[in-house]
Each structure stands twice: as C-alpha cells, then as structure tokens.
Structure 1
Amino acid sequence: MKRKAMISLCLCLCMQFSGHAQDYDASKLKQRVDVYMNKVAVQSDWLTSRLQMYWHSHATDVYVNGETFDHAGGNRAPVPTVRFNGTRSNGAAYSRPKLEDIVPYDDDAQSNVTYINKATGIKEKVSPAKTGCNIAGVNREILGIARDAARIFAATGDTAYANLARPVLDTYLKGIYHRNVPTDLMHGHMQTLVGMTTFEVIHEDAVNEVTETYRLLVPRYGRSDLHEAAMKKWAENIIANGVPHNNWNLFQAEFVAKIASALQPNSAYSDGKGREYYQDRVLNKSSIRQWSMKRMTDYCFDHNTAIWYESPGYSTTVLNDFASFANRMDVEAGMDMFKDLPVLKRAVMASPQYLMPNRMICGFGDTHPNYLSMRAADQVLDYARRHGDKALEQEFVGLKEAIASDAPKEKIEQYVSPSFYAPNVSWLMQRTGMDERHDLAISLNGSLGNHMHANGISMELYGKGFVLGPDGGIGRTLYSGDDYKEYYSQFPAHNTVCVNGKSGYAVMMSNHAFKVEARYPDTNDKVGFGPATFSQVSFVEPETQARQMRTNGIVRTSDAGGYYIDIFRSRAVGDGQFHDYFYHNLGQTMTLTGADNGDLALKPSEELAFAGGNLYAYSYIYDKKSARTGNDVKATFTTECPDGRKIDMTMWMQGYRDREVFKALSPVNLEYERLPKFMPYNVGEQPVLTYVARQCGEAWTKPFVAVFEPSDTDEPSEIRTVEFFKPSGKDAVGIKVVLKNGRTDYIFSAPQKTKMKYDGMKVDAVYSIISNGKTILCR
C-alpha cells in the first residue's frame, strides 16, 4: 500500500473514536496542521500562548452573576488556569479575533481579553462578559489543532506532530486541574448547570478534543496522573450538575463516557474510580442530576410510539446522539444498549413520522426544521453488521433507502401514517401521502414536554412543497433573547387562538397538552392514505380558563390538489371577552377582501398591541390594517419563487357579527434561517404575512371556520366557491365547497356527536363530509 493511502487509512481508524471518520480528508488535515507546525518551529509557544487562560492571575475561582461572567479570583494556582466563558448566550457585542490575531498570553488583573468591537471593528480590552461563548470557541479551535496533530502522529509515528499537541494538552489540563467549579453569586439555578469552562455542562465540548488527544498521545508520553485527575474532576462536575430529565442527561453521559475511555481500569486508582466506575455511573446509576440510561429512557420515550418527549429539532438530534452513544459503548465497553433498551431501535424507525411530504421535519417548539438525518440509522447499521444481525441490517438499509431524497414516495409512505398522535409531546399529524408537490399535511401541537412554546392548539399547514403556514420559530439568539421570551414562544407567534390578549403559560418545560376527542384514521398504524383525514382536539387555556376546541381535516380534490378545514371554537367565562385567531403564512404579498373579492376598506389600526394589558407579543405585530365586518372574508398569501413560480395559499373564513379582521406583518420566521437554499425566498429577512380575526364575545357559537387551499402557477386553484351554512344541531357549523369541475362537498361539524341536517342531508357525527351525495367520511 502506498504511504499516502496508508496514512489516510490509519487516520480514518483514529477518527472512528470520535465518530466522524466519514467526514475526514487526510491530506487536508495534514495541510491544515502543517501551517501551525511551521509557526511553532519559529516560535515554540505560538499555539499554547493563544489558549484562553488566566495567564496573569492563575485564578482558581470563577464567579458568575446568573448567566454572565462576573470576575475571577481565589487563590493563585501554581500554573495558569482555564478561562470561563463570558455568557450563557451566544449573543455578544465583541467577536473573537482570528487565531493569528489573538494577543499571546492575553490577560490582566481584571481578567479582560482583547477582542473585536463589532460596532467599530477595532480590537479592545474588554470584560469576558461581553464576549458571549467565544472564549470556549477559541480554546476548542486550538485543542482541535492539537487533536489533529495527535491523529497524524498516531497514523504516521512522526513525533513532531506529537510534540505540537502535547504542550497544548498539558497546559489546558493543568489549567483544569487547578480550577474550581464556578460560583453563582445569585445562588440560583445556574449553580446547578455550570461546567468547568462553560455555563452549561452539556457544552463542555472541549472534552471531545481533550480525551481523544490524550488517548492518542499515551503511546508517546505515557500516562499522566495529573491529566487523568483533571479529567476525573471534569467528569465529577458534569455528573453533579445539569438536568436529568431531557436531552441534557444524554449529552452529559456522552462526555463522561468519553472521559472514561481515556482512563485506566478502576484498580489503577486509589479511589477506585476509573474507566468502569464512570461507565457504570452513567449507564446504570442515578443521582439527582444524572439518571441512568434505563431511567432516562423510561421517562423520555413514549412506550407506544417511541417518540422522545421534546420538540422535533431536539428529539431528532437526541436520537442521533443516543444511537451513536449506544454504538460506541458496545464497541468500547461491551455494553449492548441496543439490546437492553429496545425502544432505541424503535425510535429510529419511528423518526420518519416527523416528516412533512418534502422530507423535512415539522417545526413545533424550539425547532429549526431540516431534512431527517440518518446518523442514528447508520449507528444501528454499524452495530448490526458488527454482530452479524442480517435481519436488523436489512430493516435499517430499507429505512435509509426510503429516506433518500431520490426515493419514490411509495417507499417513504411505508414509514409514515396518515394520522399519527404522540401523547407525550401533544402532537398530532395528518397526511394525504408523501408526494412533495401534491400531498398535504397538517401538524397540530399542544405544549407538553421540553423545548415547547406557549401556543395553545397550534397548527402548521403544508402544501406545494413547503410548510406554507409555519410555526413561529425560535428567537434571534435561540431561547435566550427577549424576542423569544416576549414573542416567538408566545401565542401570537403561532397559528392559534389567544383569549382576551392574555393566553399564556410557562414555556420550555411545559405541561399543557390538548386532548384528542376524535380522529380519522383513529390509529397510528400505517393503514394507507385515503381521500380525507380528520381530527378534533380540546384544550383548557390556563391563563383565562377558556375552553377551546380545534377541528381540522384534509380533503383531496384530485391527484394534484386538496384543501384544509380549520374550525376553532373558543369561549371564556364572563363578559367583555374576545378571541384572536392568528394565522401566519409564507410569502411576500397578501390580499384581504370580502369572499366576493369586494373591498373591505381596511384602515390603519392601533389595535393588537401591548397597550391595554395584552401580552408583549402583540406589540411585535406591525403595519396593521383592519375592518369590522360580519361578512365572509378571503385572504390570499402569495409566494414568488426565483424561477417564476407563484404559490398561493387562499383562505376563506366565515363571517360573524362583532368581528374585526386584520392584515398585518409579524417578525421574520427564523425557523428556516439555517436553510436558505431550500426555501423559495430569503425567509429569514422577510416579515411574516399575518391574518388576525378578533371575535368580540365568545367564539364557540361564533367560531372561526376556515377553508385553506394551496395552489401554484402550474396547478391553479380547484375551488370555485366556498360558502357557509347553518345545519340543525347544537353549535353545528357547515361548509359548502364547490369545485371548478362541478363537484360539491358539504362538511358538517359539531363539538360532540350530533344529529345534523341540511338541505335533505342527515348525519349523526362529530365531523362528516358528503361529496356529490356520497359520504366520504363520517365520525
């Protein structure tokens, strides 16, 4: 074998420890490291001097004020100690310099650093409190260079690369050994979350580079009692802090397991705490902030659906990490988690249920939708092949083939259900199939589990390749900023109904689920896709004690099209109540007219504001124009794509007395800011088109009754007219949809099973569709 190929093979084997061998380019790695080899050859401390350390004070203690660095102090350690991050949030007024521009041995009596003022572009001495998470970022970059040098040494035996890595590792681990766990001056929640280097133990990512580098350098330098004591100290802090009942527990376990892999057996240590101790500590033992894998699995996965109890963005990430962790523990410790925790494999197989027809996950809670990663499936496949389990291998090969972007829709449709309900996250999905352009989907979510929003019964609508009616998304600085707390996590940012301007409850870890009253299909089984779906869910809004009920359905009109039904009932106790129906849609333009296309004479409005005692979120809505009308209305949201294609979402809504309708703009939707190339325009810079209907008085006998139809340039609207009628039956409503091909659909709906009659038609149901005299759904 040629030398270059041998180096590449050896380096790939080294990288299997970190789980990213497939992303590795040996020649680029060596080329990158050689840049620093040349610098160190001229100045031996070029790399180590740029580590972010307390070079001046040798501080042993760090003090934070909640989520912000306050000061460093304590006794003077015999060596420089590792700096702590500036804030919990990534947001910062100062950015880090490039590595070559970092001031060597940068520190002073106030523990300041020399970073770049974002406003002026000039480097200044500044408190770490203004630098966000950049300090840890610099250290990870330097540690990453050391790790890569150690990989090259392990593959080639060239000691020059080991000599580059060793001083960086030694300086950093000595700095950890002589540092204490930070103290929160507020004596608050942060004291239970802080790591040795960052505000959250789940972001002690430097563990990855440090443990791998240490392992790779042992053949050259032998083991170090001090280095291993530092890593054990790190592990003890990660175990002692954090959160046991969500994704944190897994991330903490991964760090501790990586530290364990760098240690010797228990017998090598006087305290008996070595490799086996720490592996057992996270796999089988539970403490207040670090649960065993079995306890966490029982708590976080739904027994029936195998869905993890966090929002999709977190759930899918956890699943990837969990499978990777399980596979690594099987390799390194002989602990078969896939066998001991069978729900893990089921969860990977269930993950396609998150998908919209464009193969991207739905977006409720703190989620940035993306295509479904197959990293978890790859880990199970690696496990299956290693154990010679052909049946398991075939099962997961099939899953990967179905998820592939070029796979026919018939393959992925084997892994998704027309109706899917996950009670542990209060989430219900309806789909007509998985054709990206022609199928429709509705995602409904309440607020149960972790990383959830205050959104009541929220709705996302998919059509013509995109989630046209998206969830509100997440704030500019994720969940740390005021925009998130005041707007993105609150009712008015979602497609829901807010009562009296006050609806709300605790976000993040939430306990406000909806109740499924009825649905069709009424099973999560993969029963095949039909011409219609339906769901009816109820909810008691806790702030106002309003009773709410949402009825949703999809009706197919052809192989290329269909429409949605949305009926939202809401009522509170007492006089003076009002109910605001919010709907947000992608697009650049919006029209709001009467159902007959007549002018509503919209006028600028100062309503929908915090003034008057409403939520702060109301004041984020702007450019408001409104009209008071009891007549039916029609809104059209238009998305213009770069290729000239236009996508319309048309909404028809029934009018009622004492109603005011609004055309407005809302803050940009940041769900898709990480995926601009997959979106029809730059969604992250375009205000969100917003429709609001305010019903003065109760909205139970005067509910919000709407029909939505997606269409586009190539496949225009199939609906000729939408009308509304009043069938007999308590609180019943009716919708008449006339298609251009002459077909007429009648939709009957009531809050409970009711005998309803209209124009010679009779139904005894909660929801029924009669199309050209034939019943296509009756529940």
Structure 2
Amino acid sequence: MGSLKYRKFGYNLIVLLFILLIQLSSYSQELKRPFILVKASERNNVLEKIETQPWAQDIYNKLLKKTDSEVDLFYKNPESYLKQLPFNWDEAQKNQFPPFYKTDHVENGVHKNLDNATDEEWKPAELLIKNLQVALDCSMIYYVTQDEKYAYVASSILYSFVKSVQKAELSNWHSRGGWLFPYDGFREVRVIGYKLPLIYDFVYPYFQNGGKSLDIIKGDIVDFPFNEAQNVFRTYADITINYGHTGSNHSVLEAPSLVYNALAMDDKKEREKLLSYFLTENTENQDALNVMAKNYKNKGDIWPETSQYLNHSTAIIAKLMLVVNKYKPELKLAKTYPNVLYALPRLDYFVYPNNEIIRWGDGHRHGSSLYNAFEDAYALAEMDGLNDLKEKFGPLINRAIQVGKYKRKDMESIFWYDDEIIGEPESFELSRTDRVYHAGIVMQRNLSSTNNPKDGLMCFVGGAHMVHGHAEGMNIELYGEGQVLGVDNGRGKYAKDIHENYSRIFAAHNTVIVNGSSQGEGGWSNLGINTVEVVSMEPQVGTKGVSPYHSFSQTTFDDNGGEKAEATQERTLALIRTSPTTGYYVDVFRSKSKLPNQFHDYLYHNIGDTLEFENSNMAFESTPEKYSQNANAKWDRGTYRNPGWHFFEEVKTSKPYNEAVKATFNVEQLQAAKIYMQMHIPGFENREYTQVKAPYTFEAPKPYDKLPTPTLVIRNKGAAWNNPFVVVYEPFNDKENATITSVSKLEQDGVYKGLKVISESPKGKLIQYIITQSKGQEFKNDALNIYFKGTLAVITLDGNEMLQNIYVGQGDKLVYKNKVINIGLGKKYYRTY
C-alpha cells in the first residue's frame, strides 16, 4: 500500500509539473512580441490566409504596394526622409534632437481645442500622423515578410519620435492637456498615442536580432533606446488615466491609447497595472470597462449619446475587448459583458425608409453600423464559447457582405477573422415602432406594400439631455416622398456661433418655445433638459400593431430650464396611412406655463424653396426685430443666446388670425422629383403666424444643404392647452397631388377634442374622425353619435359614410352610432367593417 501511495504521489507530481510546464511555456510564448494585435505564434496562420484567401491577398497586396512606395523614398535618402518630420530646428540644442512643433489652435488670442484648427495649425500633426502610419504599415509588413528593410524604416521613424517628443513638457489645460497638442491631449492620444506601441510591438523581434535605427543627429546607426521608449508609452498611458473627463465617450476614445501603451510595457507588473485602468480601476479622469459596460444594462441598450458616438464608442469597446481577451483569454470579456456586443447592430434600426438616420443632438444623417465590429463580436463569441452571440452576428455579417455594405479592408481582418462565418444571411426587418430610450425618442414607421422608399411614412418625437445632446425640447422629424422633410438642423463644426447659439438650442428644432425663454440648464455644456416621457404608444416596441394603417405616441415634457418658461407640455403624434402611396401626420402639441402673461411659439422647419399660404387675408408684414432680442447677449462657455431664433431672417408676421390656415412647403430642386409638404391648421383665437428663413440644414439633400430652411412659427397668446397647436401634415409629389380636401376641428364646450379629415385617396373618398385627448379624458358628440374615453381613436368612413374601420390606439370605451366597444382600461383596438 505504501509503495502504491508513493507511486500515486509521484505520478500526481509529474502531472502537476507537466501542467505547470505547459502553462509556463504557453505564458512565455504569449509574452513573445508581437502580441498586441497578433501573436508571433500566429504568423503561419496569417501567411496561410494571405496565400490562400483572395480577400486577404487583396488587403495585403494593397498595403504592400502602398508601403513599398514609401520605403523606396526612404532608402533614396534616409536622413532627408526623416527630417520631413515637423522638427523645430530653431529650438534645437547642440548634438540633440530638436523638439517637434506643437499643434495649437488660437481664437481671438485664446488657446482652444483643435475642433476648428486651420490647415496651417494642423500641419505639424498631419506630418506626424502620416509618418507614424508609414512606420506602422512597415512594421506590419515586417511581421509578415520578416524582411528587415521594413523594420529599419519603422524603427528609425519611431526612434526619431521617441527622441524628439521627450523635449516637450506635458501640459495640463482644462484637464485635457497633451504633450504635442498642449491644449488637446484628448485628440493627441487618438491620432498619435495609440500608434507608437503597435509599431514597437511589431518591430521588437528586429531589435532582439540586433536591429538598429538611424539617428539623424549622430548621422549613424544606433541601438534603440528602450528605456526612453518605455517612458513615452508610460506617458501616453498617463495622459489617458489622469487627464480628460469621465461619463462620456472621452473615456472610450482614449482607451485604445491606454490599452496599447499598457501592453507595450516590458515589465509585466507595470503592464498589468496600467491595463487594470482599462479593466477595473477607475479614476477621476477615466472610466474603466466595468463602468462603461453599465451603459448596457439590458440586451439592446446602446451607448447613451448621439448616433455617430454611440456607434463608434461601442465598436471601440468591442475591439479592445477582443485585444485584451486575446492577450489574457481567461478574462472571458465577452462572457462578462455580452450586452456591449448586442448593442452593435442597433444603429441600423434607427433609419428612415431612405436609410438616413433619425437625428438627435450632434448626430449625423448618414452612417450605419460598423460591420467590422460585428466580426470582433463574432471572434469574441468564438473565444468565449458563446453560441447565442455567434448565431446573432454570423447572419448579420454575411448579410452585410451579401448586400455590399461590408468588405474586409485592413490587416487586422487578416490577423483576427476566419474565412468562414457561419450563418445564413437574414432579411433585415424594421419594426413598426422603436425607441431610443436615453434620447426620449419614440419612432413610428409605416413601410409601404409597394416597397418603394418614397411611399414609406415615418416620424419620431423625442428629446433628452446627454453628452452631445441638444436643448431641443419635445422635437419631431417627419419623412415623406423619400426625404426627411420636417428636419432637425443638425450640426456643423463645434464651437462656432451657429452651432452654440442655434443648432443645439431650441430654435433649431420642431418644438415649442415658451415665453421666448426656453433653454437648457445644467448638465453637459449647460444644455440640460428633461427627458421626453411616454404616456402611451401603439404599437409597443417589437409588437405587430393592431392596425396596418395607424400608429401613435403621446409624450410629455417639462420645460423648466431657467426661470422664465416653467411649462408643462404634451404631444400627440399620429401616423395615418390612407393607401399604399398616401398618408398623413397629425400633430397635437399642448403647452401651458405657470407664469402670467404666457405665450407659446410652435416651430416647424421643412427643407424647401418657399412656404406658400393659400389664405390671402393674413396680411403678412416684415417684422425684422421680432426675434432679435438676444442677438447680442452674452456668449461664452456654457452661456448661450437662447432660444437662438435671432438667426431667423426675412421675418414676416401676420395680423392676429383666428381662421383655419392652409400652407405648403415647396421642395422643387431635388433631382428625383418635385415634392411638397402641405399643412392644415385649424383656426383658434389668439394666434399669429410668422414665416422665416432659418439657417440651412446640415446634411440635407442638395441643394438644400446650402439654402435657407423655410420655417413657420405659430404664436399662441396665453396657454395652449385646451386649444393646443394642431397641425395635419401631408407629403405628396407633383404627379400624385395632395389627397386631403378639408380639415375641421371637433370641439366640446369650446375645448379642442379632435379633427374631421376628408381626403380623396387612391382608394376613394375617406372621412376620418380623429379624436386626440389627454389620457383618460372623454369626448361626446350627439350629432355625430360618437363617445370616446381615451387618448386616441380614428373612425374611418367611405364616401357614402359607411363605416370602414375603427382604430383605438389607447382608450377605455368607444361608441359610434350602434357600435359599442368596451376596450378595457387603456387598451388598444382595431376592426374593419
């Protein structure tokens, strides 16, 4: 027994030692550079892809051709080539590298970040970025070919940078200071800082084999200064850890520099410590992954900013998760933070039928999901054994390839992705409604059975505070005839007058301004507003909807920025289709203030050439001073010329006008067709109408991206609650013409309750009673034999007044003649007759 015991002990010891040897061998192999983007041990696999896979051959050959042209230039005169770097020779000390010219931007004698830097101010940075990219390209080609001529070029550029950058002092401006960009380190780490460690990682084997670099000061080939390089990497990591601010995409955008510079550290303990600032260690100036991931609490949650930032931020996080997971597979980051990856496709759902993006805050009109990030997610899912994620992204990747939206195009694709992605391409279905929760947005979509984007209808209402958000109130956009017609202004360059004093405050949006004083307050850039809240909507997100023709949302908003608005608002927005090619929107906006002498202004911007009124008796007169009160008010960091309507030009105002109004926005310079947006506005007392030319709309279709935006402002003196702003919008083109022939209001005891809309649709004459109330209210009209308790109902009759269908978006009970419909508390209903 004793001998057996010792034999077992010896056997177990041998097994344990064997396992330890394997682990040590594996760990040692992993630490052999390169290992940041791709391991040294993966080279044969990379070579095989290049030799056997056409897509990999194409990527590699293009990079090789591009790189060889620079390498040829280098070897013609290496010293001259390196001296094109932006050295400030006037400050050079004897026998030492000169410092680089710093990249700075000055406005009116004040140093600012580089958002609006001139070409001349940006030139030093441009030269550095170009040369560092050459070095990075050369270093990757060296990894593949093992040809030291590429490593010599890369190492010599890196050597020159390391020597020169250390001549600069690190600044600390607004907690955003840099090294070479003293007033914008945030940008420096994004365009320069992340490249250096990658170059080092790839050429490290060259140094191990005795490779040297060219020193243009000594005019000689010398050893690479490892300690100095480590100091440079350490400094760029430190800029991220101890500069900048948290709670925004800044932490994400700086994270690649942090991760790559951390992994470039040769001392394992220091490497792990710096890497911890990406994984778990949060500072006052940098959020770690465990905090970033909290933005993705539920599957489908997205980064809480505007469209281009939410998309880009999530893609960066996914990429870094893959890099760190490859370095340390036991972390299983995809398994720990799967919801980050599930967020990646969401931007593709926030689109109009013409594939333009709904716009909120600083978001762009054009863009799509970053499909290479889908592949990062797929690779992570394979590493961590997450079949659900693989099954999610495989079909999406293959579909993007199939329809031409995605093509692998960089070396990282060869390093990271397999040739075969499992999953049949799936059709991409957009839901009837959707929400961007952090932006307060509720979308409604009704795609046509014609499958023609011009016949699709779509709208949204929304508004909220976030980084890069706008103080926009309860804003809408409207789509029709293949274009976004009712538009948000968008944004141009940051920090400009039009951006800060128009684009991102109330007057640039389709909203209501209260007492001329609606504004943001507090929060990011002092643009804080409340979030638009949903009272009710139909269909709910992800559900089919009870009617193929109708949908609606009712939302609320508190306009309490500053002290002069103090308003409660409610907006009901309904989408009503009348045929596969026609339909309209009903907008009902209620607004009331706690303050005396209140007035409310309803704003609507529509791209186009002119706004024409059919009412000949409105007596418009020029009123150039009407919106100019704040044109010269104080403007500095966080203080704006609210509400921004001093940018309106050609201001013309009607006399007080109580009658119904019919007006049309003419959009006649598009290449495809002449299109129009017609407005029907029931008459109310205490109203006046103003037509203006607002600034041009960013990213509008040509030529409207350079032409003023026709805009209507309706002023209501007194509260606009019992008698709210009510507008029916119908888009049409010059071949189909408008279908709505009349719009009249339904009232009860002098209080607005709804509309009667008569239209000549392609399917024939329709008479529609549209009841729009606050939740729980009642409408009774004995003459029409209608009773309704609830928020929204549509009763549709044909030309012979025969009942066609009844839709209740939200309600308790509806009676129409002999039809009694007990729906239940706050339910929905639809039936055809």
TM-score interval (norm. to shorter): 0.7 to 0.9
Structure 1 CA distance, aligned partners of 2:599 and 2:618?
A: 21
Q: Which residue matches 1:332?
A: 327
Q: How does 1:46-57 map to 2 (within 5 A)?
A: 46-57=80-91
Structure 1 CA distance, aligned partners of 2:659 and 2:738?
A: 22
Letter in 2 for 1:301: Y
- Residue 204 (structure 2) aligned to one of 210, 213, 218: 218
Is the contact between residue 335 and residue 384 of structure 2 (CA under 8 Å) also seen in structure 1?
no
Q: Which residue matches 2:821?
A: none
- Residue 585 (structure 2) aligned to one of 551, 564, 568: 564
- Residue 744 (structure 2) aligned to one of 723, 732, 747: 723
1:273 aligns with 2:248: no
Any gaps of 5 or more consecutive residues in structure 2?
1-42, 106-111, 209-223, 406-424, 634-640, 798-802, 811-833
Letter in 2 for 1:432: N
Q: Which residue matches 1:143?
A: 132
Q: Which residue matches 1:179?
A: 168
Q: Which residue matches 1:283?
A: 279
Structure 2 CA distance, aligned partners of 1:241 and 1:525?
A: 45
1:510 is paired with a residue of what secondary structure? coil
Q: Which residue matches 1:590?
A: 611
Structure 2 CA distance, aligned partners of 1:459 and 1:725?
A: 24
Shift of 1:590: 2.7
Is the contact between residue 173 and residue 231 of structure 1 (CA under 8 Å) also seen in structure 2?
no
Q: Which residue matches 1:191?
A: 175
- Residue 155 (structure 2) aligned to one of 161, 166, 182: 166
Structure 1 CA distance, aligned partners of 2:117 and 2:251?
A: 31
Structure 2 CA distance, aligned partners of 1:257 and 1:365?
A: 30
Is the contact between residue 535 and residue 551 of structure 1 (CA under 8 Å) also seen in structure 2?
yes
Structure 2 CA distance, aligned partners of 1:11 and 1:160?
A: 23
1:191 is paired with a residue of what secondary structure? coil
1:653 aligns with 2:674: no
Shift of 1:493: 0.4
Letter in 1 for 2:496: G
- Residue 361 (structure 2) aligned to one of 360, 365, 374: 365
Deviations 1:377-404 (A, max 9, x none): 2322233455675553332233346668
Letter in 2 for 1:243: H
Structure 1 CA distance, aligned partners of 2:57 and 2:355?
A: 23
Residues 387 and 343 (structure 1), Cα distance of their counterparts in 2 relative to 1, 3 Å cut: closer
Q: Which residue matches 1:620?
A: 647
Shift of 1:312: 1.7
Deviations 1:329-386 (A, max 9, x none): 2223323322101211331244433222223321110111223222332322233455
Residues 22 and 489 (structure 1), Cα distance of their counterparts in 2 relative to 1, 3 Å cut: farther
Deviations 1:140-191 (A, max 9, x none): 012112222333333333333333222221121223344332133xxxxx22
Letter in 1 for 2:510: N
1:157 aligns with 2:146: yes
Structure 1 CA distance, aligned partners of 2:589 and 2:257?
A: 46
Is the contact between residue 731 and residue 751 of structure 1 (CA under 8 Å) also seen in structure 2?
no
Is the contact between residue 149 and residue 164 of structure 1 (CA under 8 Å) also seen in structure 2?
yes
Letter in 2 for 1:427: I
Q: Which residue matches 1:747?
A: 770
Is the contact between residue 177 and residue 227 of structure 1 (CA under 8 Å) also seen in structure 2?
no
Structure 2 CA distance, aligned partners of 1:397 and 1:95?
A: 43
Structure 2 CA distance, aligned partners of 1:77 and 1:765?
A: 84
Q: Which residue matches 1:106?
A: none
1:56 is paired with a residue of what secondary structure? helix
Residues 392 and 231 (structure 1), Cα distance of their counterparts in 2 relative to 1, 3 Å cut: same
Structure 2 CA distance, aligned partners of 1:572 and 1:494?
A: 20
Structure 1 CA distance, aligned partners of 2:117 and 2:778?
A: 63
- Residue 248 (structure 1) aligned to one of 228, 233, 250: 250
- Residue 355 (structure 1) aligned to one of 346, 351, 355: 351
Structure 2 CA distance, aligned partners of 1:23 and 1:137?
A: 29
Any gaps of 5 or more consecutive residues in structure 1?
1-8, 60-75, 97-130, 185-189, 267-271, 673-678
1:662 is paired with a residue of what secondary structure? strand
- Residue 807 (structure 2) aligned to one of 769, 776, 779: 776
Relative to the length of structure 2, the TM-score reads 0.76
Q: How does 1:548-559 map to 2 (within 5 A)?
A: 548-559=569-580
Letter in 1 for 2:537: R
Deviations 1:399-441 (A, max 9, x none): 3466689599xx9986543232343322221122485232211
Deviations 1:747-775 (A, max 9, x none): 11122321102322111112221112432
Is the contact between residue 722 and residue 735 of structure 1 (CA under 8 Å) also seen in structure 2?
yes
2:104 is paired with a residue of what secondary structure? coil
- Residue 337 (structure 2) aligned to one of 338, 341, 357: 341
Q: Which residue matches 2:373?
A: 376
- Residue 298 (structure 2) aligned to one of 303, 325, 343: 303
1:498 aligns with 2:513: yes
1:465 aligns with 2:461: no
The structure with more radius of gyration: 2
Q: Which residue matches 2:792?
A: 767
Structure 2 CA distance, aligned partners of 1:621 and 1:14?
A: 62
Between stretches 574-583 and 154-163, larger displacement belongs to 154-163
Q: How does 1:403-482 map to 2 (within 5 A)?
A: 416-433=430-447, 435=451, 436-475=453-492, 477=493, 479-482=494-497
Letter in 1 for 2:549: P
- Residue 690 (structure 2) aligned to one of 662, 674, 680: 662
Residues 201 and 91 (structure 1), Cα distance of their counterparts in 2 relative to 1, 3 Å cut: closer
Residues 492 and 511 (structure 1), Cα distance of their counterparts in 2 relative to 1, 3 Å cut: closer
Residues 220 and 153 (structure 1), Cα distance of their counterparts in 2 relative to 1, 3 Å cut: same
Q: How does 1:530-549 map to 2 (within 5 A)?
A: 530-542=548-560, 543=562, 544-549=565-570
Structure 2 CA distance, aligned partners of 1:384 and 1:724?
A: 57
Structure 2 CA distance, aligned partners of 1:504 and 1:331?
A: 48
Shift of 1:486: 0.6
Shift of 1:81: 3.0
Q: How does 1:626-645 map to 2 (within 5 A)?
A: 626-628=653-655, 629-640=657-668, 642-645=670-673
Deviations 1:37-76 (A, max 9, x none): 44434433223222224443369xxxxxxxxxxxxxxxx9
Residues 443 and 173 (structure 1), Cα distance of their counterparts in 2 relative to 1, 3 Å cut: farther
Letter in 2 for 1:561: T
Structure 1 CA distance, aligned partners of 2:131 and 2:660?
A: 63
Residues 36 and 312 (structure 1), Cα distance of their counterparts in 2 relative to 1, 3 Å cut: closer
Q: How many percent of aligned residue pairs carry the same amino acid?
A: 23
- Residue 685 (structure 1) aligned to one of 706, 726, 743: 706
Q: Which residue matches 1:109?
A: none
Residues 303 and 32 (structure 1), Cα distance of their counterparts in 2 relative to 1, 3 Å cut: closer
Is the contact between residue 381 and residue 393 of structure 1 (CA under 8 Å) also seen in structure 2?
yes
Relative to the length of structure 1, the TM-score reads 0.81
Shift of 1:315: 0.9
Deviations 1:250-284 (A, max 9, x none): 22222211113333351xxxxx312x222222112
1:564 is paired with a residue of what secondary structure? strand
Shift of 1:541: 0.8
1:292 aligns with 2:288: yes
Q: Which residue matches 1:123?
A: none
Shift of 1:557: 0.9
Structure 1 CA distance, aligned partners of 2:301 and 2:116?
A: 39
Paired residues, number: 690
Shift of 1:560: 1.9
Structure 1 CA distance, aligned partners of 2:686 and 2:281?
A: 60
Is the contact between residue 573 and residue 586 of structure 2 (CA under 8 Å) also seen in structure 1?
yes
Letter in 1 for 2:528: S
Residues 393 and 43 (structure 1), Cα distance of their counterparts in 2 relative to 1, 3 Å cut: same
Letter in 2 for 1:657: E
1:141 is paired with a residue of what secondary structure? helix
Deviations 1:661-708 (A, max 9, x none): 122211111245xxxxxx3x2332122121111222222233210011
Residues 770 and 576 (structure 1), Cα distance of their counterparts in 2 relative to 1, 3 Å cut: same
Residues 15 and 602 (structure 1), Cα distance of their counterparts in 2 relative to 1, 3 Å cut: farther
2:375 is paired with a residue of what secondary structure? helix
1:704 aligns with 2:735: no
Shift of 1:580: 1.3
